[in-house]
Amino acid sequence: MTRARIVICEFMDERAVAQLGAAHDVLYDPQLVGDAARLRAEAGQADVLIVRNLTQVRGELLAAMARCKVVGRLGVGLDNIDLAACEARGIKVIPASGANALSVAEYVVASTMMLLRGAFASTEAVAAGQWPRAALSNGREAAGQTLGIIGFGSIGQTTARLALGLGMRVIAYDPALMPDAPVFAQTGVQYGHLDDLISASDAVTLHVPLVDATRGLFSAARIGQMKKGAVLINTSRGHIVDISALSAALRSGHLGGAAIDVFDAEPLPASAVLQGCPNLLLTPHISGLSMQSNERVSFMIAERVLESLK
């Protein structure tokens, strides 16, 4: 295509935007996602639409995208895109596979270590002249603990590499991998059936896409199967962990901690279920976002979009 119209409706590294702009006509407006009518009008003129995870590429928006041939996704989860409808309309969807894996993996390992050690919530007490040394002296080292990874794709495997470097034992489950898949021998990760993994792990981390088979995967029953004192990390998607059951398990002391980066509704409305919940780290869907990953994701999408327009 000679000069295509590219509409970018969420934030992207500006040097990657300039790379696209050198060859094509680009509208870069990171606020556009918040104005549904203007987004539909601009997307209707676009040959390429570039989104993050806020833009819902389905329904009325997709119907308006009469010229669109390519959707670039600045990230990896594709649950905000109606893939079947895109395919039916001949729209190619390009994700930034692997480009934010390290950022998520570092978040998982950092939160696992903080939660196992349990010693980092003492700032207010120490500054106020208290000295809660005895209460905070029984944290766990990560080395020797078992990390269970559910979903052993790009992020799961990167997390395993970091955890093994800390001396953790790592078990992984993924329905796309047989127990004798070479990746287990190559990485030193043990294969585990889902139920065995959940009951054997000191920390469980989820790296699955949101699809029918994973919706509700971490139900009250599965949380109940976890070891007493274990920690749960969810950076995958909302709707995968039952948040009410998680809160109850933290409040009762069955779980030792949790870190949750993704929610059923985002932004998360004020939640009585989560407020005041002990040993809980909450972040606003940022585990995949870092200076470096934003750069990698943006340039990967710019390059793949340019390639698709040749």
Query: Active-site positions?
Result: 237, 266, 285
- Could you tell me the smallest distance in angstroms from the CB atom of residue 119 to ligand NAD? 25
The burial class, CB within 10 Å (0-12 / 13-18 / 19+), for 122 is: middle
Q: Is residue 44 within the footprint of ligand NAD (CB under 6 A)?
A: no
Q: Is residue 192 within the footprint of ligand NAD (CB under 6 A)?
A: no
* Binding-residue pattern over the window 3 to 22 for ligand NAD, x denoting contact by CB under 6 A: --------------------
Task: Please pick, from the candidates 24, 52, 207, 296, the single residue that binds ligand NAD as defined by CB under 6 A.
Answer: 207
Q: How far apart are CA 146 and CA 90, in angstroms?
A: 45
Q: Is residue 262 within the footprint of ligand NAD (CB under 6 A)?
A: yes
203 phi and psi angles, rounded to 5 deg: -140, 135
* DSSP per-residue codes, 123-144: HHHHHTT---TTTTS-PPPSTT
For residue 284, cis peptide bond before it (omega within 30 degrees of 0): no
Task: Please pick, from the candidates 17, 81, 150, 160, the single residue that binds ligand NAD as defined by CB under 6 A.
Answer: 150
Number of residues interacting with ligand NAD: please give it, by CB under 6 A: 31
- Could you tell me the smallest distance in angstroms from the CB atom of residue 37 to ligand NAD? 28
Residue list 87-146, contact with ligand NAD (CB under 6 A)? 100-101, 104
Q: Is residue 208 within the footprint of ligand NAD (CB under 6 A)?
A: yes
3-state secondary structure of 70: strand
- Could you tell me the smallest distance in angstroms from the CB atom of residue 63 to ligand NAD? 25
Q: For residues 158-170, b (16+ Cβ closer than 10 Å) or e, as one string?
A: bbbbbbeebebbb
291 CB-near residues (< 8 Å, 6+ apart): none
Q: Which among 178-186, 208-216, 242-250, 266-274 is the span making contact with ligand NAD, rule CB under 6 A?
A: 208-216
Q: Is residue 148 within the footprint of ligand NAD (CB under 6 A)?
A: no
Q: Is residue 242 within the footprint of ligand NAD (CB under 6 A)?
A: no
Mark out the alpha helices in the chain (DSSP H runs): 14-21, 36-44, 59-64, 83-88, 101-117, 123-127, 154-165, 182-187, 194-200, 220-225, 243-252, 291-308
The burial class, CB within 10 Å (0-12 / 13-18 / 19+), for 86 is: buried
Task: Please pick, from the candidates 214, 247, 294, 298, the single residue that binds ligand NAD as defined by CB under 6 A.
Answer: 214
Q: How many CB atoms lie within 10 A of CB 209?
A: 15
Q: Is residue 159 within the footprint of ligand NAD (CB under 6 A)?
A: no
Closer to ligand NAD by Cβ: residue 95 or 256: 95
Q: Is residue 162 within the footprint of ligand NAD (CB under 6 A)?
A: no
* Binding-residue pattern over the window 269 to 288 for ligand NAD, x denoting contact by CB under 6 A: ----------------x-xx
- Could you tell me the smallest distance in angstroms from the CB atom of residue 29 to ligand NAD? 22
Q: How far apart are CA 150 and CA 257, in angstroms?
A: 18
Binding site for ligand NAD (CB under 6 A): 75-77, 100-101, 104, 150-156, 173-176, 207-210, 213-214, 235-237, 261-262, 285, 287-288
